[in-house]
């Protein structure tokens, strides 16, 4: 969707310019030779923001993500959760309308992950950013999303199911798991996914 790979068939329709789409990868992929602040400012300077201003803005984003005082650190000297936050600040600083996330929280341990997720949800809800999240974690999918699409197993993955998640916003990603709508949806999603996987096992 962002243009790193060309679609094999079909087209991508969007009103958004590439600059309005941010990507959060599974790995944080920060430039190891740049400080946290320089990493966050990078995208801004690519789009013509003057360096001093970009750095100030980067600092503000770091503060918003609870990383005040870590701006001068190199990625190597940050923990996994901190690096994830820096990567997030890097994306958010671009003020995207849409963020694509590919299992961004998979590499974090449970508690750190939960905190980062909570902060991401809060920021995304406040800034009105859309998120397209790819995940293997059913609970993550349901607790964070408004809509869930189930993809068949690849290659040639395609959408097989679509679910609406009626949990109101603003959400707390942990508490929303106790919402009455959560359990039945989880059951359905799990059943459909199991069938999908069984299917494949039989075919093989």
The residues that touch other proteins, with contacts defined as CB under 8 A, are 2, 4, 18-19, 22-23, 25, 27, 29-35, 42-43, 46-47, 74-76, 90, 94
Read out DSSP for 56-69? HHHHHHHHHTT-TT
Q: Given the complex with other proteins, which of 87 and 165 has the nearer CB atom?
A: 87
Q: Given the complex with other proteins, which of 107 and 152 has the nearer CB atom?
A: 107
Minimum distance of other proteins from residue 159's CB (angstroms): 24
Alpha helices in the chain (DSSP H): 36-46, 51-64, 80-92, 110-127, 138-144, 182-203
Minimum distance of other proteins from residue 20's CB (angstroms): 10
Minimum distance of other proteins from residue 93's CB (angstroms): 9
Q: Given the complex with other proteins, which of 19 and 68 has the nearer CB atom?
A: 19
Minimum distance of other proteins from residue 147's CB (angstroms): 24
Task: Report the C-alpha gap between 173 and 187 in whole angstroms.
Answer: 18
Q: Given the complex with other proteins, which of 88 and 189 has the nearer CB atom?
A: 88
The answer to whether 36 touches 72, Cβ cutoff 8 Å, is yes
Task: Report the C-alpha gap between 17 and 15 in whole angstroms.
Answer: 7
Calculate the alpha carbon distances from 172 to 91, 99, 117, 160, 164 in Å. Answer: 22, 19, 9, 28, 18
């Amino acid at each position: 969707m962002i243009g790193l790979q060309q679609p094999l068939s079909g087209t991508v329709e969007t009103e958004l310019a590439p600059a309005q789409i941010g990507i959060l990868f599974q790995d944080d992929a920060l430039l190891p030779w740049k400080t946290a602040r320089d990493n966050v400012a990078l995208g801004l300077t690519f789009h013509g923001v003057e360096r001093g201003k970009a750095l100030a803005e980067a600092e503000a984003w770091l503060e918003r993500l609870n990383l005040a005082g870590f701006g001068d650190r190199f990625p190597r000297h940050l923990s996994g959760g901190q690096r994830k936050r820096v990567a997030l600040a890097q994306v958010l600083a671009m003020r995207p309308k849409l963020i694509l996330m590919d299992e961004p929280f998979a590499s974090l341990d449970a508690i750190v992950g939960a905190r980062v997720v909570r902060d991401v949800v809060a920021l995304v809800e406040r800034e009105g950013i859309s998120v397209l999240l790819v995940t293997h974690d059913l609970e993550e999918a349901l607790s964070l999303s408004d809509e869930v699409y189930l993809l068949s197993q690849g290659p040639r993955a395609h959408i097989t199911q679509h679910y609406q998640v009626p949990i109101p916003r603003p959400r707390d990603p942990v508490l929303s798991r106790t919402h009455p709508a959560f359990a039945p949806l989880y059951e359905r999603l799990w059943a459909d996914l199991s069938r999908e996987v069984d299917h494949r096992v039989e075919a093989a």
